[in-house]
């Protein structure tokens, strides 16, 4: 079973979230997906920067869900 990672950028100030960004890599297990989710969240927070994070009260959510292939994937 493989897993996909989706990162979701949100703002408390705006009261909304952007559409999920689905990370291109598929993971062999949930643990690997979660570890990459935490890593990518930290990288994105550093890219956005302290001022923007504080001004817009930005936070990142992520989910790891089971990958279900579609007809396009086969």
Q: Looking at the predicted structure, is the pLDDT value of residue 38 above 70?
A: yes
Question: Is residue 67 packed enough to be buried (19+ CB in 10 Å), middle (13-18) or exposed (0-12)?
Answer: middle
**Residue 70 pLDDT:** 76
**Residue 28 pLDDT:** 96
User: Given 3-state DSSP classes, what are the helix, strand and coil percentages for the chain, each rounded to the nearest 5?
Assistant: 40, 35, 25
Q: Looking at the predicted structure, is the pLDDT value of residue 73 above 80?
A: no
Q: What are the pLDDT digits (tens) for 3-28?
A: 999 999 999 999 999 999 999 999 99
Residue 54: helix, strand or coil by DSSP? helix
The pTM score is 0.84
């Amino acid at each position: 079973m493989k897993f996909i990672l989706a990162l979701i950028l949100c703002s408390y100030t705006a009261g909304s979230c952007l559409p999920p960004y689905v990370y291109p890599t598929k993971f062999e297990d949930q643990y690997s997906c979660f570890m990459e989710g935490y890593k990518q969240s930290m990288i994105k927070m550093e890219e956005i920067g302290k001022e923007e994070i504080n001004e817009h009260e930005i936070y990142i959510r992520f989910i790891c869900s089971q990958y279900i292939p579609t007809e396009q994937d086969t």
